[in-house]
Structures are given as C-alpha cells and as structure tokens.
Amino acid sequence: MPNSSPPPAYWISRLFGEKQGSIRHNPQNWRRGLFWALLSPLFLGTIPILAKLAYAAGVDVLTVVALRTLFAALLLWTAILLFRRRYLLSSSPAVISSFLAGAINGIGSLFYYSSLTRIDASLGQLINITYLIFVTALLRLAGQGVSWLTLFRMALAIGGIYILTQGGLGTPDWLGVMMMAVAALTYAIQLVLSQRILYDIPAPTMALYAMTAMATVVTLAWLTNPTPLTAVSPAGWQAVLLMGLTTGLSRLTLFLGVKHLGSIQTALLGILEVVVSIALAIFLLSEHLTPVQWAGAAVLLISVLLVRYERNVPKFIDWWKLFWQFRLKK
C-alpha cells in the first residue's frame, strides 16, 4: 500500500496556522526573489572581511566607508549608462523617494561604523540584528500581516545571533549601543521604504539613485576631515575597490529581492550574511569558532531554510497612495 502521509510542508504549515495550498501563490516570482535575496548576503558577507584587510593596510574607517560607497555608485552609473540607459528614466516622486531611502541608509552607515569604534563587534552584531524587529513593527503599522512562521524565524535568527556572539561579550559603551540601534532602525526604514518604491520602478533604478544619495551623505561626512588619498597604500586601495564592487552588487540584489519577496522576507534571508562572514573569516583570516558558536550558526541556517514554508508576499495598505487619493477628491 503506497505511503499516503502528508509531506513535511503540510505539518509545518498546519503548525503555524497556514492553510494547505496557500503557500507560494506565485512560485516563479517567489523563486526569482529567493535567488536575489540569497545572493545579496553572499556579497554583504564579504564586506566585513575586506574592511578588516583595509584597516590592516592602514586605511581609516571613514575613508573606507566613503571610498567604497563612491566606487559602488560609480560602478552602477557606468553599468547603466553603458548597457541599460532605460533605467535612468523614472518619475520624480520615485527618484526623490529613492534618494531619501539612500540618504537614510547613508546616515545609518555612519552610525554603524562609528559604533564599532566604541563597542565590540560581537555586541554590535547582536544589536544590529534588531532591524528585524523594526522591519516587522513598521510593516505592521503599514497594515501588512506577519505570519506566525515569520515571527518564529525571527526569534530563531535573534537567538542564533545571541548564541553566535556568546551574548555580546564585553562591557557595553551605551553611546556605542545607541549608535548601533540607530543604524539598525535606519536600515529597517530603508527596507520598508524600498518595498513601497519598488512597486513603481525597477530595482536597478532604485539601486542607482539610492546608492548615489548614500555616497553623497558619507562623502560629505568624510570631507569634514579628509585623509589624503596618496596616504592609501596599494593594498588598501585593492581592499576598498573590492568593497565598492561587492557593495554595489549587494544593493542591487537586495532591492531585487525586496521587489519579489517583500522587505521582511528579504531581511530574514539577509542574516545569512553573518554565516558568510564567519566562513570567510575561518578560511581567509584563520579565525575559529567555539562549539557554542557553531550551534548559533546552525540556528541561523535553520531560520533561513524555513523560508521554503513561507507564504507569498502579502500586500500592505499603501497609506501614501490613500492620502493622495483623498487629497485629490477634495
């Protein structure tokens, strides 16, 4: 007699209150979003390793942030001008919104790197993962539903980071903690804004203008106390230019993921960045993990793999659109 027991997806969907058949209403869109959302942390995960190489070559923090962001913006402009000029054209509200999202992220990056000069990297990583909570709260305010499976995966992710960082060892500097919390909030705001903006424009268009705004913000901060470029060693330039390449690609793939999956699912998949950074640190920097930290990494991977049981991206209430419709009717 053939085995007629339901597949594992059925039991997981029942456990978290999903109805059989409601998972992934648009498989093609979902798979496309998964591809880009999983590719983004692969690029993001290399940035901390390259940053360590740049610091080891004597490049200061603000110079690293400014040069890698400028180079990322330059790469996007070059690629689009040469191969996809149609992505330059968009409506004024969409371009302004993209600039706003990028500027917010640029301010957040300044808080992020400044905080790391005051607190341990492990504690910083633990605080930064709170962007998942901020994304969820902001989307709930926008009227988007959040499944129990998503909340469970979020708890796994935060727990995995806690274990991986061994509770954020080190005495906290509360100013540094607040800076990292601001960085997490600004990243969450960018993700939520991008979900709305990407309803109207292609992901490369938003990536171009958001990265341009981000480069403008960090460059203005760098110009307050610039380091002579002649002081950057060849090894430093190599690391910074590679950071620029991975930064540009990570933003492009991030927005492609948000366009097809939504911001909360893309954010949850983005935690894979931590695992990528760990793997590269082990192989390239000869770092190692304790058995407890390996357990934390495993919990993070479980959170990522559970995405296969998620529903398709829900629509949220577009309060901005409703506001303008109300104004026009007056």
CA distance 217 to 207: 15
Residues above pLDDT 90, as percent of the chain? 28
Phi, psi of 36 (to 5 degrees): -70, -40
Residues above pLDDT 70, as percent of the chain? 81
CB 302 within 8 A of CB 155: no
Which residue type occupies 241?
L
* DSSP state letter for 213: H
Among 61, 45, 112, 66, which residue's Cα sits nearest to residue 214?
66
pLDDT of 105 > 70? The answer is yes
pLDDT in tens, 267-293: 888 888 877 877 777 777 676 767 877
pLDDT of 330 > 80? The answer is no
Is 178 exposed, middle or buried, given 0-12, 13-18 or 19+ CB atoms closer than 10 A? middle
CB 320 within 8 A of CB 197: no
pLDDT of 239 > 80? The answer is yes
pLDDT given at position 255: 93
CB 196 within 8 A of CB 96: no
Phi, psi of 50 (to 5 degrees): -65, -35
Mean pLDDT in the chain? 80
pLDDT in tens, 133-153: 888 888 877 777 777 888 888
pLDDT given at position 21: 35
pLDDT given at position 13: 41
- Any idea which of 236-240, 264-268, 302-306 has the lowest mean pLDDT? 302-306
- Any idea which of 16-20, 156-160, 222-226 has the lowest mean pLDDT? 16-20
- Any idea which of 11-15, 266-270, 306-310 has the lowest mean pLDDT? 11-15
pLDDT given at position 315: 54
Looking at per-residue pLDDT, the higher value among 302 and 315 belongs to 302
pLDDT given at position 32: 84
pLDDT in tens, 19-55: 333 334 567 777 888 899 889 988 988 888 888 888 8
- Any idea which of 5-14, 108-117, 293-302 has the lowest mean pLDDT? 5-14
CB atoms within 10 A of CB 283: 10
**DSSP per-residue codes, 87-140:** GG---HHHHHHHHHHHHHHHHHHHHHHHHTTTS-HHHHHHHHTTHHHHHHHHHH
